[in-house]
Amino acid sequence: MTTFDFDFLRRLLKERSGLVLSADKEYLVESRLLPVARRRGLAGLSDLVQKLKAPGAGGLLAEVVEAMTTNETFFLRDKVPFDHFRQSIMPALLGARENRRRIRIWCAAASTGQEPYSLAMCLKEMGDKIAGWRFEIIATDLSTEVLEKAKIGLYSQFEVQRGLPIQMLLRHFTQTGDSWQISPDIRAMVQYRALNLLEDFSSLGAYDLVFCRNVLIYFDQPTKIDILERIKRVVEPDGFLVLGAAETVVGLTDAFKPVHDQRGVYAPQASPTVTRGADTPFARLDMPATARLAAAMGAR
């Protein structure tokens, strides 16, 4: 691949998906896009670039974006965010939503479904504590291809072993030959939609919890800030945002504030207009979310 071709693909991917590729990611482009070129009967990446420049390349462009933005994912990936979800976020939300008895969760980079299904399984395992409650898990991803796989909920033996405890595998999956099928009740808890985080997502409604893990790392700083500030507009004031281990809001935006002792968990920061009259507006108005978390943890 020539430098010119690589630069063209970098610009194209940044424009269409927000994906930022540093100059050392040529190998990544080659490993992801050579299979696309082969499928299309093209000799190599230079031919692929020529096709992308030609009129009517929409289908190929979508395929290229999908190939570059599809990332490996595990069930219960990184474990800690799901411990926080079970042990502190959910108890806090159950307390705060006692009257409404309805909780909305958005998985903003659902990929092949492991994350939303992990959340659904965690909820299912709460048993009687959530009896009579209604949960909506909206799972979105840029790639329609991965969403199709997610909807089917059929995983290889390799995929189910990555992060999923064997007891949970037996409880929530059925063995189908060499594959494992997620149970219909878990599958029914998740709704999938194609969504580009660069585009307006205000129509999704309001959420009590947003999981947006391991996606911001691919964006440049202004895009990260823009996405975080738009996420804030769809998170309830006493809701939560969970980011990936390598991601943070610190130094980017005041829209969210880290929750003490809950690595990766953030609470929306009240806007200055709402804090009128307060001496230390942010500290005071952050109290509900953090205090509820502390109370939930203390109650364990």
Partner 1 sequence: MKTCLLVDDSSVIRKVARRILEGLSFEISEAEDGEKALFVCQRALPDAVLLDWNMPRMDGYQFLRALRRMPGGDQPKVVFCTTENDVAQIARALHAGADEYIMKPFDKDIVTAKFQEIGLV
Of the two residues 167 and 203, which places its CB atom closer to partner 1 in the complex? 167
Residue 79 engages partner 1 in binding (rule: CB under 8 A): yes
DSSP category for residue 85: I
Annotation marks residue 77 as catalytic: no
Of the two residues 31 and 221, which places its CB atom closer to partner 1 in the complex? 31
Annotation marks residue 213 as catalytic: no
Kindly state the smallest distance separating residue 168's Cβ from partner 1, in Å. Answer: 10
Q: How far is 265 from 180, CA to CA, in rounded Å?
A: 31
Kindly state the smallest distance separating residue 220's Cβ from partner 1, in Å. Answer: 29
Residue 170 engages partner 1 in binding (rule: CB under 8 A): yes
Catalytic residue selected from 32, 162, 193, 230 = 32
Kindly state the smallest distance separating residue 175's Cβ from partner 1, in Å. Answer: 5
Contact indicator for 255, 235 with CB cutoff of 8 Å = no
Catalytic residue selected from 5, 141, 208, 286 = 141
What are the strands of the beta sheet with 154-156, ordered from one edge? 154-156, 179-182, 173-176
Residue 157 engages partner 1 in binding (rule: CB under 8 A): yes
Residue 163 engages partner 1 in binding (rule: CB under 8 A): yes
Contacting residues for 25 by C-beta, under 8 A, at least 6 apart? none
Residue 31 engages partner 1 in binding (rule: CB under 8 A): no
- Enter the tokens of residue 118: 């992990």
Max CA pair span of the chain:
67
Strand 134-141 versus strand 102-107 pairing type:
parallel
- Enter the tokens of residue 7: 């630069």
Show which residues are catalytic.
32, 141
| Footprint on this chain of partner 1 (rule: CB under 8 A) | 74, 79, 157-158, 161-163, 165-167, 169-170, 175, 178
